[in-house]
């Protein structure tokens, strides 16, 4: 059912008045996210160089390296795999934090020095190098690591479920016979960090479609899944999966879905005047609100044509590099990492949108202007993985040009640094707080480090 003009006008007014853990970020007309502040009560102060040359942090903060590719070892004795990416944190028994860690390894196993080991019973495609490991972080500082799934490809982001599992996404859609693969790829898989037996005989959730998946979140009330696609030529899509009537989510339920269960859909956005919006790069002001209708995907398995190519230019709304997502405040926060010549709208170095399923609106919360000097420690660019902080606002992992940061955005759109990669120019990924909010976990993708950051966290001022 389409959203009427009257319904959209009412939804627009309601969306602009949003409050919650994040609220309306950067709502000043025409504003972009403000440059980072280094003091004056915002954030945690300036970043201090790390004598070890790994992670610069504010005064009073410290970090520990939990896993290091090619250095730390799994329970099986094999090395921790490389290219750490999306991560989720779950409460485990006796104070243990369970971290499911993606490894974004594309192509055949021989290409990589430390692929995800082919643990017996946990392999989807023995030719593929990627997968997930599960890290047990104990209170005494010790860790254990084991394989959650192996034989998948380019495990980039994903999403945590309300029932305590991780949905890992393949950002690669090779068919069997392509690039050495023996099975089709481009799927979402479920990994249970609490029950190793539940991960045996991995089964792709084909109902969620076959494309270059980035992230996924589940609406715990309605049961809808929202998915992002990081692809171009043409730009990728933001998707909604509507479950079949009577389906109820829970542990192991996604494995029971038929391959064609439910309906996969793409968005068709329009502005307050009812005009169609072809690409999210058209938005140049924070606070912009678009109404959203949903259009069915003709062939979610992409048997002959990629899903994003099955629509004409006037059918749906696209965006460049749709990346991380996080469910909070009754909706989905999602990232478009940047826009350049491949997008029809204005260039930018990052957007964060909020999709409200009740009002069926997308609201632009954060807009990062083009970073003219990414090699200088100043403005931020290229947001990727994202989380909502228990202390208010957003925490964002930077995957842009030049210097790489973890940074925060307050309710009013002010940005501030949390950490800087002093090791190299590799992206941050997998940003997530522990269940008790005391530890911020994040990855440096290369050489593959999982870091635990602690310090005097506090609620950010509403500025």
DSSP 94-109: GGPEEEEEEE---SBG
| CA angle 363–368–370, rounded 5-degree value | 135
Taking the C-alpha atoms of residue 208 and residue 335, their distance in angstroms, rounded to an integer, is 19
User: Closest by alpha carbon to 67, among 82, 80, 54, 50?
Assistant: 80
DSSP 206-256: GGG-SS-EEEEEE-TTT--EEEEE--TTTTB-EEEEEPPTT----TTTGGG
User: Closest by alpha carbon to 336, among 253, 280, 374, 291?
Assistant: 280
- Name the phi and psi angles at 234, rounded to 5: -90, 170
Q: The pTM is what?
A: 0.93
pLDDT on residue 410: 81
Structure tokens at 110: 């021989």
Contacts of 442 (CB under 8 A, 6+ apart): 87, 397, 406, 419, 428, 429, 430, 431, 432, 450, 451, 453
Taking the C-alpha atoms of residue 376 and residue 374, their distance in angstroms, rounded to an integer, is 5
pLDDT on residue 435: 97
For 429-454, how does the pLDDT look when each residue is reduced to its tens digit (9 = 90+)? 999 999 999 999 999 999 999 999 99
Query: Helix, strand, or coil here: 403?
Result: coil
For 84-111, how does the pLDDT look when each residue is reduced to its tens digit (9 = 90+)? 999 999 999 999 999 999 999 999 999 9
Average of per-residue pLDDT values in the chain: 91
DSSP letter for 6, please: H
For 344-387, how does the pLDDT look when each residue is reduced to its tens digit (9 = 90+)? 999 999 999 999 999 999 999 999 999 999 999 988 999 999 99
Structural domains of the chain in order of their starting residue, each with its CATH number: 5-454 (2.120.10.30)
In the predicted model, is pLDDT for residue 271 greater than 80? yes
Q: Which of the four pLDDT bands, split at 50, 70 and 90, describes residue 313?
A: confident
pLDDT on residue 8: 57
Look at the block and give the residue holding tokens 């990414």: 374
For residues 311-340, give the mean pLDDT. Answer: 96
Q: Is the Cα torsion angle 126, 129, 130, 135 positive or negative in sign?
A: positive
Taking the C-alpha atoms of residue 11 and residue 291, their distance in angstroms, rounded to an integer, is 8
pLDDT on residue 461: 58
For 381-418, how does the pLDDT look when each residue is reduced to its tens digit (9 = 90+)? 999 999 999 999 999 999 999 999 999 988 777 789 99
Structure tokens at 399: 């995957």
For residues 101-130, give the mean pLDDT. Answer: 98
- Range 206-224 burial, b when 16+ CB lie within 10 A, else e: bbbbbbbbbbbbbbeeeeb
pLDDT on residue 462: 56
pLDDT on residue 240: 98
């Amino acid at each position: 059912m389409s959203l009427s003009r009257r319904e959209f006008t009412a939804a627009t007014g309601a969306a602009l008045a949003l409050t919650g853990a994040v609220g309306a970020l950067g709502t000043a007309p025409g504003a972009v996210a403000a440059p980072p502040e280094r003091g004056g009560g915002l954030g945690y102060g300036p970043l201090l160089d790390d004598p070890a040359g790994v992670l610069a942090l504010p005064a009073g903060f410290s970090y520990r390296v939990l896993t290091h590719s090619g250095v730390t070892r799994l329970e099986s004795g094999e090395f921790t795999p490389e290219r750490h990416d999306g991560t989720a944190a779950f409460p485990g028994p006796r104070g243990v934090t369970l971290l499911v860690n993606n490894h974004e390894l594309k192509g055949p196993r021989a290409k990589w020095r430390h692929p995800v080991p082919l643990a017996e019973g946990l392999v989807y495609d023995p030719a593929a190098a990627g997968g997930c490991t599960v890290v047990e972080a104990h209170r005494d500082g010790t860790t254990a690591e084991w394989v959650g799934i192996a034989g998948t490809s380019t495990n980039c982001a994903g999403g945590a479920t309300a029932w305590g599992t991780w949905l890992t996404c393949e950002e690669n859609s090779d068919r069997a016979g392509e690039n050495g693969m023996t099975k089709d790829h481009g799927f979402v898989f479920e990994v249970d960090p609490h029950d190793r037996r539940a991960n045996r005989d991995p089964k792709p959730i084909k109902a969620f479609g076959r494309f270059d998946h980035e992230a996924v979140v589940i609406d715990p009330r309605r049961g809808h899944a929202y998915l992002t696609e990081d692809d171009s030529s043409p730009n990728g899509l933001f998707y909604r999966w509507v479950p079949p009537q009577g389906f109820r989510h829970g542990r192991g339920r996604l494995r029971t879905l038929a391959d064609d269960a439910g309906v996969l859909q793409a968005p068709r956005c329009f502005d307050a005047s009812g005009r169609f919006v072809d690409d999210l790069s058209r938005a140049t002001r924070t606070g912009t609100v678009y109404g959203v209708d949903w259009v069915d995907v003709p062939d979610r398995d992409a048997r002959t044509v990629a899903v994003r190519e099955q629509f004409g230019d006037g059918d749906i709304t696209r965006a460049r590099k749709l990346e991380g997502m996080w469910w909070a405040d009754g909706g989905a926060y999602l990232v478009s990492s940047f826009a350049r010549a491949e997008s029809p709208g204005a260039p930018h170095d990052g957007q964060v949108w909020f999709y409200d399923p009740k009002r069926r609106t997308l609201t632009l919360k954060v807009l990062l202007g083009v970073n003219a000097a990414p090699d200088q420690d100043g403005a931020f660019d290229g947001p990727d993985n994202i989380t909502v902080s228990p202390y208010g606002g957003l925490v964002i992992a930077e995957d842009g040009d030049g210097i790489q940061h973890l940074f925060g955005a307050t309710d009013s759109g002010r940005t501030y640094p949390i950490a800087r990669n002093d090791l190299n120019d590799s992206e941050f990924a997998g940003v997530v707080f522990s269940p008790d909010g005391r530890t911020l976990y994040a990855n440096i993708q290369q050489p593959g480090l999982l870091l635990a950051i602690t310090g005097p966290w506090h609620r950010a001022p509403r500025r």
